[in-house]
Every structure is written in C-alpha cells, then in structure tokens.
C-alpha cells in the first residue's frame, strides 16, 4: 500500500513567489476562518498557494452531505483538481485565518515556458498533491478505522515536521466531524479510535490538543513502520 506519511516526507522544491512576481501579478489574499477561497462551480482562473493558515477542500456527496477531500497547509497548492476545466469542482474553506498567494493560471503557464526551473518546481508541487490524494484513497479503501485514524495523525505530524513545527505535540485545526468525513468514518468511530489509542498510551488527546507519545507503536498500528524525527 502507498504510504501517506512517506509521501508527506518527500518535500518538493518550493515555488519561488519572488520569481513568479517577475513574470505575473501575484495577489496575496487574506481568508478569514469559515470563509470560502472558492466554491464549486465558480470559474477556474488561478491556482492558490497557502502562505499561512489551514484550509479544507470538500464537495457534496450524492446524498447531499459534505465530503471532506483534503486538508491544506503552508506550501500546499489548491485548485489543482480543476486544471483543464472551466470551473472549480469542489469548495475550499479556511479552518483558521489564512493567507493565500493567488497565481493566475494562464500567466503561470507562460512563466513556466520562460523559466524552465519554475516549470520543474510547479510540476513537482502538482505531482506531490496528486500523490498525496492517491495515497489517501488507497488508505481509506484498505485500512480499518483505527488504522486510518493512526495514519491520519502520523501524516499530519509529518507534514508539520516538514514545516519546522513539532511532530509530537500539535493542535488539530479541524474538528472530529471533518476528520471523520475525510476518513469516510462516523464521528463516533473517530472518537472511539482516539480514545482507544489514548488508552494504549500511543497518544494523548485533550480536546484538539494532541501529543504523540509512542510514534513507533502508532506507526505499527497504522502499518507505517517509518518514524518521525
């Protein structure tokens, strides 16, 4: 099985905003908690690079329920799923006050033609988003509930560590309902899984504050033997 934790540790080259600004108008936007960056059905005209904050992407399921499809933090690109289409295919909403770089899409392509290094960096960033999404599709489709929750915590810890934050002690920016939606579980199932992992002394949970107490055992539970530094 592909490993979300492993994917998160493979850090692609960062997009150089200053270089992009030499070839196009790059707008820095503030998105307040609860505000939408874009909505399903809105015209697609830009990619969005997270400068600070935390967002989720979601779409409506066939029965009208919101289905969370991903969580994005600093350095992540949004809008990738709509490349080649006329409109956005999902919603992107801020879970906390966030700052976003808006990259107009046609100028991005033109800049890549002029600066091959930018094309390499953009391609790497796009590939990273695709790999992460594919890894989670496989994880959700193959792992039982508790292993999904363990894998989710490890993946989040790895991504935070990549950004220079603590991988062992962090605050969940999303609620349990969002985690449950993302992992295709019920809210109660996520709560039970967290409680059981805490009973095993793999983690400690106080509301949204999480401490990873035994990463090797948590990794073994998730089927991902790699450890986090």
**pLDDT one-digit tens code per residue, 131-145:** 877 777 777 777 899
pLDDT at 180: 97
pLDDT reading at 5 higher than 50: no
pLDDT digits (tens, 9 = 90+) for 140-167: 777 899 999 999 999 999 999 999 999 9
Non-local CB neighbours of 18 within 8 Å, separated by 6+ positions: none
Whole-angstrom Cα distance, residue 93 to residue 36? 4
Q: Is residue 190 a contact partner of residue 76, using CB atoms and an 8 Å limit?
A: no
**Cα-to-chain-centroid distance, residue 48:** 13
**Tally: H helices and E strands in the chain:** 8, 11
Superfamily of domain 4-135: Jelly Rolls (2.60.120.10)
Q: Are strands 98-104 and 27-31 parallel, antiparallel or unpaired?
A: antiparallel
Neighbours of 90 (CB within 10 A): 22
Report the predicted TM-score, pTM, of the whole model to 2 decimal places: 0.85
Nearest CA to 172 out of 136, 132, 204, 219 is that of: 204
Where does the pLDDT of residue 8 fall: very low under 50, low under 70, confident under 90, or very high at 90 and above?
very low
**Helix or strand or coil: residue 81?**
helix
**Same fold flag, 4-135 and 143-222:** no
Q: Per-residue pLDDT averaged across 72-89, rounded?
A: 91
Domain spans, the chain? 4-135, 143-222
pLDDT reading at 210 higher than 80: yes
pLDDT digits (tens, 9 = 90+) for 92-131: 999 999 999 999 998 888 888 887 877 887 788 778 777 8
pLDDT at 6: 43
Alpha-carbon radius of gyration of the chain: 18
pLDDT digits (tens, 9 = 90+) for 12-68: 456 777 777 887 888 999 999 999 999 999 999 999 999 999 999 999 887 888 899
pLDDT reading at 7 higher than 50: no
Higher pLDDT, 70 or 122: 70
Where does the pLDDT of residue 9 fall: very low under 50, low under 70, confident under 90, or very high at 90 and above?
very low
Whole-angstrom Cα distance, residue 50 to residue 98? 8
Q: Which residue has the tokens 């504050």?
A: 209
pLDDT reading at 85 higher than 90: yes
Query: What token pair was written down for 143?
Result: 């792992």
Q: Is residue 103 a contact partner of residue 46, using CB atoms and an 8 Å limit?
A: yes
N-to-C CA span, the chain: 22
Whole-angstrom Cα distance, residue 99 to residue 121? 21
Whole-angstrom Cα distance, residue 133 to residue 112? 24
pLDDT at 224: 74
In CATH, which of 1.20.120.160, 3.10.20.30, 1.10.10.10, 2.30.40.10 is domain 143-222?
1.10.10.10
């Amino acid at each position: 099985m592909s490993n979300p934790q492993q994917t998160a540790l493979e850090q692609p080259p960062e997009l150089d905003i200053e270089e992009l600004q030499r070839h196009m108008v790059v707008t820095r936007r503030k998105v307040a908690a609860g505000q939408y960056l874009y909505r399903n059905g809105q015209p697609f005209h830009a990619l969005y690079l997270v400068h600070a904050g935390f967002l989720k992407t979601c779409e409506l399921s066939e029965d009208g329920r919101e289905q969370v499809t991903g969580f994005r933090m600093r350095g992540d690109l949004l809008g990738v799923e709509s490349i080649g289409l006329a409109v956005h295919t999902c919603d992107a909403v801020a879970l906390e006050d966030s700052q976003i770089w808006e990259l107009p899409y046609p100028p991005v392509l033109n800049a890549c033609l002029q600066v091959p290094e930018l094309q390499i960096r953009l391609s790497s960033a796009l590939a990273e988003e695709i790999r992460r999404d594919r890894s989670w599709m496989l994880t959700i489709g193959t792992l039982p509930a508790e292993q999904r929750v363990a894998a989710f915590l490890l993946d989040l810890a790895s991504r935070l560590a990549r950004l220079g934050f603590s991988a062992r002690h962090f605050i969940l920016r999303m609620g349990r309902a969002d985690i449950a939606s993302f992992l295709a579980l019920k809210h109660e199932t996520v709560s039970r899984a967290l409680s059981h992992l805490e009973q095993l002394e793999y983690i400690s949970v106080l509301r949204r504050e999480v401490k990873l107490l035994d990463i090797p055992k948590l990794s073994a539970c998730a089927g991902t033997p790699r450890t986090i530094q």
